[in-house]
Amino acid sequence: MEKIARLTLKYRFARCYVMRAFKNFYRPYLVRGKENIPADSPVIFTANHLNALMDALALLSITPKSRSITFLARADIFKQKLIARFLTFAKIMPAYRMRDGLTNLAGNNESFGHAEAILQEGNYIGIMPEGAQGEERNMRPLVKGVFRIALSAQEPFGNQPKVKIIPVGIEMGDLIKFGQPLILNIGKPIEVSQYMESARNNAAHAMNQMRDELALRLHEQTVDIASKEYYKQMETAVYSLDTAQCLVDGTVPNELNRFDSRRKLAERLCRIEKENPVKMKEIAQKAEVFKLKLKELKLRPWLFATKPYSCEQAILALLGLLISFPAFLIGFITNIIPFMTPVWIRQAIKVKYSGFHSSIDFGIALISFPLFYLINALIISCLTKWNLLFFLILLIVQPLFGKLAFEWYRIMRKTLGMIRYTNKLRKKDATMKEAQEAYSYLSKTLLYK
């Protein structure tokens, strides 16, 4: 463990490959607030915990290549020796929780000691301070281990600014599907030295202060739908109205602006729930109706904030898809096996918890994609006149056609959705009318500057 933070050549190579694949797994991959990462200070990165390994990789992706980041993860995943060796190579140390038993908590002394030494050497630590992951988009209570590490690491520096805690909000368009948006919102750092005086008088009080500050900072960087009774209905409203809220605000409805709209809508709904329970109940009922009608219509909510296609637009969109179909077909044929292999394997081993699905898919894809491309290129090259240049070209063009095929598929689904939406409007479909009425109510109630 003493050398866990060292950047070996093997680790650098592996990180480079994994990070390149990680940034291609999401579309788009967006980072905001990177200027908040100091160039010359030890940092504890803290993030909301939605998606197992992918959350740790998200923090790794914002770490400068010249710096090391070591993670603390739940201790029960270290039980098997082979897995433990891999986790150590990946710079992950065990952290014990209350559920692991009081007798095991003493094991944290060693891990926390290593974490403090890593920070004092100027490197980074990554921690998910909620302690456990959850698929709901809200902040769970923070555990105190991160603050214990921060205060101990800062101790040699006294009141001199040194160790910092940086909140990172992770927003994923989908916790399972490939090709969904990923937004990393990096907040301003918390200066640990500001709590040292308080810690000398009362360490528990200082850690509570730090916990409250970090909870507030993480709330500001995430979509925090802090409701137990109406979570599902609020989530429907927030993710159905984000595009419309951008239009009300006069901003371009891109991924970052929609994220800001979702934050605004979530806070608005939580405030309504607190101040006007009767109104919240009405909103929840309309959100349920809208979600149900969307399912019946097989439509996406963003369509209700857009203008329907004209006949000319529909024809041009379909014509574009038809012309580009051969490129899709090539990409589909050359990529369907590596694309589907992770899903087939995951289903075969029967992974039940969906919060692990994308981590498993990504891990398998790291092997299945290059292996398949290599085998495919060798077979084609052997069936034709062998040529090294042709072989290398095949290795390069296969993933490019795969991206083209995936993009074609996305555009096709969007186009067909627009055409279906337009047809339902023109035919004055009864279900469509109910969906419009529910959407109109939610819009009038929740959308304002």
In sequence order, the 6+-apart residues with CB closer than 8 A to the CB of 17 are: 366
Q: What is the pLDDT of residues 361-394, one digit of tens each?
A: 999 999 999 999 999 888 888 888 778 888 888 8
Q: What is the pLDDT of residue 202?
A: 94
Are residues 189 and 129 part of one domain? Answer: yes
Of 170, 192, 221, which one is at a domain's C-terminal end? 221
Q: What is the pLDDT of residue 390?
A: 84
Paired residues of 167 in beta bridges: 46
Is 135 domain-assigned?
A: yes
Q: What is the pLDDT of residue 76?
A: 77
Token digits of residue 210: 């730090």
Task: Tell me whether strands 190-191 and 182-186 are parallel, antiparallel or unpaired.
Answer: unpaired
Query: Which H, E and C letters describe 287-328, residue by residue?
Result: HHHHHHHHHHHCCCHHHHHCCCCCHHHHHHHHHHHHHHHHHH
Is 2 domain-assigned?
A: no
CB 116 within 8 A of CB 162: no
pTM beyond 0.85: yes
Segment holding 393, helix H or strand E: helix 388-426
Is 357 domain-assigned?
A: yes
Q: What is the pLDDT of residue 98?
A: 58
Position of tokens 């939610």? 442
Please give the C-alpha separations between residue 207 and each of 95, 140, 141, 227, 309, in angstroms, as whole numbers: 18, 17, 13, 26, 56
Is 200 domain-assigned?
A: yes
Q: CA nearest 181: which of 46, 31, 304? A: 31
Tell me which amino acid residue 141 is. P
Of 176, 195, 221, which one is at a domain's C-terminal end? 221
Q: What is the pLDDT of residue 344?
A: 92
In sequence order, the 6+-apart residues with CB closer than 8 A to the CB of 273 are: 227, 229, 230, 234, 280
Q: What is the mean pLDDT of each successive set of 10 residues along the chain, which is 449 residues long?
A: 82 94 94 93 94 91 91 81 86 74 61 87 92 84 91 92 96 88 96 94 94 95 94 96 95 95 96 96 97 95 92 94 95 91 90 84 93 89 81 90 94 95 92 96 92
Is 1 domain-assigned?
A: no
Which residues span the domain enclosing 354? 231-449
Q: From CA 411, how far away is CA 47, in angstroms rounded? A: 32
Are residues 141 and 43 part of one domain? Answer: yes
Q: What is the pLDDT of residues 121-179, one digit of tens each?
A: 889 999 999 977 778 899 999 988 899 999 999 999 989 999 999 999 999 988 888 88
Q: From CA 211, how far away is CA 199, in angstroms rounded? A: 13
Q: What is the pLDDT of residue 104?
A: 58
Q: From CA 220, how far away is CA 187, in angstroms rounded? A: 8
Token digits of residue 286: 């309309």
Q: What is the pLDDT of residue 1?
A: 58
Strands (DSSP E) found in 175-253: 182-186, 190-191
- Determine how many CB atoms are found less than 10 A away from the CB of residue 172: 19
Is 442 domain-assigned?
A: yes
Are residues 290 and 418 part of one domain? Answer: yes
Is 52 domain-assigned?
A: yes
